[in-house]
Structure 1
Amino acid sequence: MKNSIQNEEEKAQKNRTLKKICMIVLIVFALYVAYTGFFRLEVITTKGCSFYTEDEVLEYFKQTAADSNTLLFYIKYKYLKKPTIPFVDEYDIEIKGRNKILINIYEKSMISCIKYMEEYFYLDKDGTVIESSSEKVADLPLITGVKFNAINLQEKLSVEKEEIFSVILEISKLINQYELDVDKVNFNYNMEVTLYSHDIRVILGKRDHYDTQLAELSKLLPKAQEKKLKGELDMENFEEGQDKIIFHED
């Protein structure tokens, strides 16, 4: 019985040793092939990134001479080193040919931002502060007129008036849903809402829900911007089915 167990252990040890030898041989072979120039990295492309240009993304990757090789680049950034890129949740590396790499970028899902002490803080759909920067780099609506208790990364935004939190999230989500070109969302002292889109102000007022207004605005705003209108669109009392909306031209 003891001999049988001993034989099994010896066999397992031999298998582990053989695997290590094979791994070393493969690594040596890969390094040899890598440095012969066969896998010279010539093209790196990115996909899925709107916050940065391709050159800006690549600044986080190509740092050493070894990064000019397709295989070594793939192994390094796929398994060994993961650069932290602001506004990027994660990324994946693909070999698209012996001389080409594709970097798939998966950006953080943000719906709006706020400014505090010269810093911009970005919110996700749950109202969690997930990123910050000294410049407004994302094409997202800026929330203004709101007083905060605390702003901490990876925590939900803490506002002075708790009821305003759900309004911020609802309007931000609707702007994102309808792909509205909105620069700023402002709240006054009475929690009445005004949207700013270039030279157009949209008065929404204060109500329980804003989906009806923003659904209609998604039809009106592109037309107004196409005509390069400047002024105020009054939708405070707008109701579904209403065929006339007042516009005060500046």
Structure 2
Amino acid sequence: MRVLKRLFAVAAVIALLLVGVYFIFHIDNVTVEGTEYYSDSEIKNLVFQKKLSGNEVVLWLYEKTVGLGSLPFIETIEVEYHGPRSVTLHVYDKTISGCIKYLGQYVYFDKDGIVLQTLPKKKKGIPVVTGGNFGNFTVGEAFKTADEGVFESIMNVSQLISHYNISAKQLHIESGALILYSGKLKIYLGKKKRYDDEMNNLARVFETAVKEKLTLEGTIHMENYKAGDSIVVDPPKKTNKNVKKTKKKEEN
């Protein structure tokens, strides 16, 4: 009997300690930082969906063993502990290189051409790739294309767009050559394997335009561009409507 009483006493003490630890380290304040693709509530629901994960000790164990869960556009989540009851979730997004439109859905892919997710809406700042034949695809796998060379070129330009933070709304494939649409600019990049020099110089032009508050409009031809060449913006041609408006102003 004495042994049983001691065992019950030890068990009771352990239970009280566990309850104490749970309430002492229960997380009350959560801050989410870093993500551009998910809301705070979506991140919190992901991280705290596991049993007892609202406790700092348990959350730390999950983080170090099985992980905190995953979402298509999330690379990783790190937890910063500020003492009892308060944590910050640092979210690191995957780099989305672009998307294609397929059957009314937008199919997003990363820098390696891996399909991340399909969504009915287009995310802001992600260029749409048009004119290509991507065939069938599976989420979590790379696109299968008939022309691997063109696909590699798209991946190269997409990575550089992200690297230089270039505003791009569309990347069009025309007879194997690439055309980039950025703001009011139509940029003929040509047919090449890599576009490092072109995108590097374009980034400088855009940076200068922002500093000097200039609006770039027209066409840029970079089909035969070589490192060190100047970039020339050809202004848009006047349409018949514009000519008529100009004549009316002159007559008045």
**Which TM class, normalised by the smaller chain length?**
0.7 to 0.9
After superposition, residues 61-140 of structure 1 pair within 5 angstroms as 61=47, 70-71=56-57, 82-137=68-123, 139-140=125-126
Whole-angstrom CA distance in 1 between matches of 2:119 and 2:12: 44
Aligned to 2:250: none
1:163 aligns with 2:155: no
State the secondary structure of the residue aligned to 1:185.
strand
Aligned to 1:15: none
State the secondary structure of the residue aligned to 1:212.
helix
1:31 partner amino acid: V
Aligned to 2:195: 210
From 221, 225, 228, the counterpart of 2:215: 228
After superposition, residues 169-208 of structure 1 pair within 5 angstroms as 169-188=155-174, 190-208=175-193
Whole-angstrom CA distance in 1 between matches of 2:124 and 2:13: 47
Aligned to 1:241: 228
Whole-angstrom CA distance in 1 between matches of 2:74 and 2:163: 21
Aligned to 2:19: 31
Whole-angstrom CA distance in 2 between matches of 1:22 and 1:75: 24
**Deviation at 1:84?**
3.9
Range with greater deviation from structure 2 (236-245 or 160-169):
236-245
Q: Does the 8 Å contact 2:153/2:192 carry over to 1?
A: no
1:110 partner amino acid: I
2:230 partner amino acid: D
Aligned to 2:241: none
1:199–1:209 CA distance, 2 compared to 1 (3 A): same
In the alignment of these two chains, the number of paired residues is 228
Q: Does the 8 Å contact 2:73/2:93 carry over to 1?
A: yes
**Deviation at 1:232?**
2.0
1:148 aligns with 2:158: no
The sequence identity of aligned pairs, in percent, is 25
Q: Does the 8 Å contact 1:184/1:196 carry over to 2?
A: yes
Q: Does the 8 Å contact 2:198/2:222 carry over to 1?
A: yes
State the secondary structure of the residue aligned to 2:32.
strand
Whole-angstrom CA distance in 2 between matches of 1:130 and 1:24: 49
**Deviation at 1:218?**
0.8
1:194 partner amino acid: I
1:42 partner amino acid: D
2:226 partner amino acid: E
Q: Which runs of 5+ in 2 are unaligned?
A: 1-6, 238-252
